[in-house]
Each structure stands twice: as C-alpha cells, then as structure tokens.
Structure 1
Amino acid sequence: MKKVAIQGIQGSNHHIVAQNYYGADIELYEYLSFDALVDSLVRHTSEQAIMAIENTIAGSIIPNYALIDKYNLYISGEYYLNIHHHLMALPGQTIADIKEVCSHPMALLQCKEFFKQYEHIKLIEDTDTAGVAKRIKEQNLKGVAAIAPKIAADIFGLEVLEDGIQTIKNNATRFVFLQTSQPKNGIDQIDKASLKFELDHKRGSLAAVLNVMSDCKLNLTKIQSLPKIETPWKYAFFVDVTFNAYEDYAKAKSIVAIMAEDFKILGEYKNGRI
C-alpha cells in the first residue's frame, strides 16, 4: 500500500483527492499543517504527499510554493477538485440554533457572503474543515457548525443544514502530488511543467524570459513571484507552462536555464485539466 500524506483528516478535501487519485488501497497519514505534511516526506514517513496549491477564489497558497522550493520536492502530478462547502451540525438543529461556525480560513473566506445574512453567527478559524466536524460529534457540541465536504457529514454522523454555501459556485482547488525523488514520468505523457528561477530586479529581465517561452510555443498558465528575503530586490518566480511538443519545452528550458539564476525544475507531468 502506498503511504500518502494529506493535510487534514478523513472527510477533508485532501482526503477526497487521495481517494479519487489513488483509490482505496492506500495508507493515509493525516497532518494538520503543511509544514508537518512536508516533514513526513523529508523523514520518509510517507512516500507521497497531497498539497493544495491554489484556489479559483482565494488564489495562490504562497507559503506552499516556498515549502516545495525549500525542501527540493518534486511535483509528480496534479488534480483539480471542484469544491463544495456544506454547513453541518449535530442532528436536529437549524441555522437559528447555530452561534459559532468553525472551519479552515480558506473555507471561511470562500463562504463569507453566505454568512452576511446570519449576523448572529460568529466565524472562527480552525486548522481543518473535517477536523471541526469530528470535534462537534465527539464533544456533542450544540450551537456549533462546521464548513466541510459532504463526506465529513457522512463519516461523523452530522446533518447538513445548507448545501453549496461557497460564494462562487464554480469553485475549484488545484492539488499537487509531491515526493522527494524525481518522478519517472514518460516524455510521451508530459505536457505540463512547473519551473522556478530567480531574476534581478531590473527592466526587461522577466519580459525576456517570458518572450523565450512564447517563442518556444509554451503556454504560461501560472506565474507567482516571491521576494528573496535574504537578498533585497531580488525575486524568485514560480511558473507553470503547458505545451504540445516536448521538444519545444526542452528548448525553452535550456535557454531559460542560461538566462536566469537558480533555475529549477519542480515537476514535469500530465496536465490535470481536461
């Protein structure tokens, strides 16, 4: 059985991705923070880890880019999950009975418009969506609700008070699969790559790199900059590119490796968007 680490517990969105991607034949390791998740990989407690990296509403999870870079992790694949947030509590309660709603900060952010109509409810940040659902059940917490996937209500015996409370219904999160060794993805199956490089803060440096990618027929699907804290006015750029021909990508990365500093291939894999 493959040892797979997730952020959160059973019933979380990371758990759903694990089931959808790997199937049921896995040994699941649950961690309440992304730092602990990465540590399990580095210490070889787990073989692969699933990490949320960006959301269509909340945007990039910037600290996770830094974790992938710092610990030299490799992206072996990606998965896009449509996110459906459900409000759940102990059976027999209504929204009028709920005084507090606890959930992960991202879930609260994605549902904030829904709660504007319920001024009596206090929103409280917590470490995990499904973790709150589990605590409500175990501690018999009345007047407290969780925002979590429907699977959490099924697992912990809670009642769904409202379905699909996310602000934007077309809400998706991109997850990446991480490991410490370079994946053995075949060239014929690779049509996306995640790259990292550094540039000086001077006119035209980024534009020159992007022009190379364009000339080599790469489609830039993501760009994220992070300042180099130890080197003022220098930035690291994380980019995702897709391509039709591996030869075009190979040409582009060889040129960018010369133009930029600290060039790193974070992953070469199959595009998860169909």
Structure 2
Amino acid sequence: MAHPPISLEEIRIKLNALDDQLLSLLSERRALSLEVAKSKVETSKPVRDAKREQQLLVKLIRNGQDKYQLDAQYITKVFHTIIEDSVLLQQSYLQNLVNPALQRKPLARVAFLGSKGSYSHLASRDYFSRRNTDLIELNCDGFKEIIKTVESGHADYGMLPIENTSSGSINEVYDLLQHTTLYIVGELAQPIEHCLVATSEIRLEQIKTLYSHPQPHQQCSDFLSRLDGVKLETCVSTADAMRKVKELDRPDVAAIGNAISGKLYGLQTIQQNIANQTENHTRFIVVARKPVSVSTQIPAKTTLIMSTSQEAGSLVETLLVLQRYGINITKLESRPIIGNPWEEMFYMDLETNLDSECTQKAINELQTITRYLKVLGCYPSENIKATQVKMP
C-alpha cells in the first residue's frame, strides 16, 4: 500500500527542525574553535595551518560525495565560510589577550560616512559584529569629519574606505592620513553590490536624474554611459542619495545603492548588478587614537608613509631594504605633498608584524635613507584567503 505524499507543511516542519540542528552544530563547532585558540596560546602555533585545512577539505569533499551525494563545489563553498569564521574567531581571541583593554569595551562609538544604510555603515556593523561589540553609531558628512570626530574623543573608532577593486584608491582618505594623529587598528574588505533603486517600478528611459556618491558613479560608469540624457547628482553617501530619492518621490529620479539599504528607505530595486566589475569590493580601514598590538600568531599588516630624497633610485633603495628582509608589499601608493611641488609621499602596506625583529631592523634602515617615515599602524589582516584544494 502506497504511503500518502508528505504535505508541504510537513516538509517545512522537517526543514525547520534540520535548520535548528545545523545552528546547534555550528554553535558547538564555534565553541571548539575557541578551545583550539586557547590551546595555541600554550604552543604559540599560528592560527592558520594551510596543510591541515587542505587535508580537511579533501576529506570532507570525498565523504560528501561518497556518503551523501553532495557535489564538491557546494561542500567547498560551505566550509570556506566555516573556516573563515573559525579563523576570525581565533584571531579575535588572541588579539584580546595582547590588548586587554579591548576586552573591557562591549560598547563602541563609531564614526562613519553618510546616513544609516551607507556602505560605510554596513561595514561598521559587519566589523564590530565579529567582536560582539554593540555600537553607538555616529554618521558624518565627510572623511575629514570622521577623523576629527575620533581625534576629539567623540568617537572611539572611524570607518574609512581606502580603495575599491573597480575605481581604485580613494585619494582624499590617503591625503588625510598624512596629517592625522590616528592609527590604523583594523581592516575589512566589504562586497559592494550596486543596484538602481527608485520609489516605484520605472523604466530606465524615464530616469532624468540619478543620485549617488561619486565613487559609485565611477564604479558603474559603463552602465551610466548607456543612459541617455541622465543628470548625475552627487551626495555625501549612497544612503543620503536614497533618502533624497525617497523625499522627492518622483518617477524620473533614481539612486545607486545597496538593495538591502534601499528597503530601509522604502525603495524598489529597478536593476541589479550595474557595477563595471562583478567582483566589486571596497577595503575599509578602522582608525583609533591609540595603536593596537598584534599577536605574532596571526597574519598582520603594517602601514607606513614616507618621503624620499629627489635623487634617482631613492625609492628603489627603500624597496630593496624590504626585499632583503623578506617583507612583501601589498600596496604602494603615491600622493603629492601639499606645499612641496613635484614631491611625493609614499604609502606602503606591508605583510608583516611591526613587533617582529626583521620589521624593526628594516624600519631602522629605512629611517636612515628617507627624509620622513611614520608608522600609521600595525593591525590584524582580515583578508582570509580561501584554502586551495588539490584533489589527487
């Protein structure tokens, strides 16, 4: 006798029960990851073990395929996320040990660009949610205001976008870093998902005015070039652009922003994925009045600014110092020095811990061959590279 088919409601009940089990198992795995971090304090082992991660993924893929008929891509994607979370959790634990003051700050005042729903606001929430820190959110109208708010003590941290994979470096922020007394204490790479939003479902040819921040205008230039007769208006942030469109409530205006943030302002998504590059990310830096120490067990970055003499080969000489000590440069940016025509200030992101012996020796040498050198900060590298899987 055939069994009656399971109803949709029964299927949903079973799915909900499985989801609860998954959440419980993920919580249990997280707790074990924290125990791993505690054990590494005693052994001084680094957080990441690439060989073990690779062996783990190969084993999981094989078991998933053989026992549960799951495809390799699905397994890899799920466990990349789990491994990334585990690494960040362990890094946070070790950072708290070397920076005891951070453990006593369950509440942080954070200054960011624009209104709630801006990309800077979303980045602030993502960054501090990893640290179980509640936020007092302070929105600012410009990068200079963010820095002044932190320097004056009205905010503990500032969230600043520094570069984008599509539009490149954000020069205004680099220029402000020349003169601030703040330190870089963290970083975050945030996916940027630009879309077109409006108050109602309108056609592209109806749009006469488009609001956004100048950066999204650059990052969506290919899409914008296909819109005829559209006037581009700039706002402090994408969130302010969306708020402006909501206030105008007209069928001929739209904004570039994030779909989730658009819903906060009661806007509809007209077209998605309008950025020049599908992989569009913005790197943010977190600044504070005091520097942090970085555990030697986790990957670190150190950011320098320096100026060299005007003699031929002076920049190359500094690069050779870093090469000799095996220090990798992940970013090299030059900006003009205000008041000194034709002179440049160089910004360097280095894959190294400031407290390491080789870094200290390199900096001491650099100070003898540069006209000016300042360490802007040493901070944990949170760009967690996915474990590569090599199936035999």
The alignment's TM-score, normalised by the length of structure 2, stands at 0.67
Relative distance call for 1:265 and 1:133 in structure 2 (3 A) is same
Matched, 1:248 2:364: no
2:114 aligned residue: 8
Give the corresponding residue for 2:136.
27
| RMSD, matched Cα | 1.8
Out of 381, 385, 388, the position equivalent to 1:271 is: 381
SS at match of 1:225: strand
Distance in 2, Cα, partners of 1:158 & 1:191? 40
Query: Which residue is equivalent to 1:87?
Result: 196
The equivalent of 1:262 in structure 2 is 372
**1:79-228 alignment to 2 at 5 Å?**
79-189=188-298, 191-228=300-337
**Residue identity in the other structure for 2:268:** E
The 5-angstrom pairing of residues 225-236 of structure 1 reads 225-236=334-345
Q: What percentage of aligned pairs have identical amino acids?
A: 29
Counterpart contact for 1:84–1:166, Cα < 8 Å: yes
Could you tell me which of 159, 169, 175 is aligned with 1:66?
175
Change (3 A) 1:219 1:42: same
Mapped contact 1:17–1:79 kept (Cα < 8 A): yes
- Indicate if the aligned counterparts of 1:190 and 1:246 stay in contact, CA closer than 8 A: no
The structure with the largest strand share of the pair is 1
Structure 2 counterpart SS, 1:70: coil
Q: Which runs of 5+ in 1 are unaligned?
A: none
Identify which range, 92-101 or 218-227, moves more after superposition.
Answer: 92-101
Structure 2 residue identity aligned to 1:118: L
TM-score w.r.t. length of structure 1: 0.94
CA contact (8 A) 2:293 2:378 kept: no
Question: Contact (CA 8 Å) 1:197, 1:261: kept in 2 or not?
Answer: yes
What amino acid sits opposite 1:54 in the alignment?
A: E
When residues 234 and 117 of structure 1 are mapped into structure 2, their CA distance, relative to the original with a 3 A threshold, is closer
Structure 1 residues 49-84: Cα deviation after superposition (integer angstroms, max 9, x where no partner): 000011112111122112122022100011111211
Q: Which has the larger radius of gyration?
A: 2
| CA-CA distance at 1:235 after TM superposition | 2.4
Matched length: 274
Letter in 2 for 1:161: I
Letter in 2 for 1:215: R
CA distance in structure 2 between the partners assigned to 1:68 and 1:227 by the alignment: 13
Q: Partners in 1 of 2:276 and 2:307 — Cα distance? A: 36
The question of whether the paired residues in 1 share the 8 Å contact of 2:201 and 2:270 is answered with no
Given candidates 27, 42, 47, the residue that maps to 2:151 is 42
Q: Secondary structure at the match of 2:126?
A: helix
SS of residue in 2 equivalent to 1:72: coil
CA distance in structure 2 between the partners assigned to 1:272 and 1:222 by the alignment: 15
User: Is the Cα–Cα contact under 8 Å of residues 294 and 300 in structure 2 kept in the other structure?
Assistant: no
Q: Which has the higher helix share?
A: 2
Q: Does the 8 A contact of 2:211 with 2:245 survive in 1?
A: no
Q: Which secondary structure state, in structure 1, belongs to the residue aligned with residue 205 of structure 2?
A: helix
1:5-43 CA-to-partner distances (Å, cap 9, x unmatched) read 001111111111111111272010001211111111121
Distance 2:239 2:137 in 1: 15
User: Which amino acid is 2:367 matched to?
Assistant: A
Aligned counterparts of 1:167 and 1:66: Cα–Cα separation in 2? 26
One-letter amino acid of the counterpart of residue 228, structure 1? I
Give the Cα separation in 2 of the matches to 1:115 and 1:49: 31
Which protein has greater RCO, CA pairs closer than 8 Å, 6+ apart?
A: 1
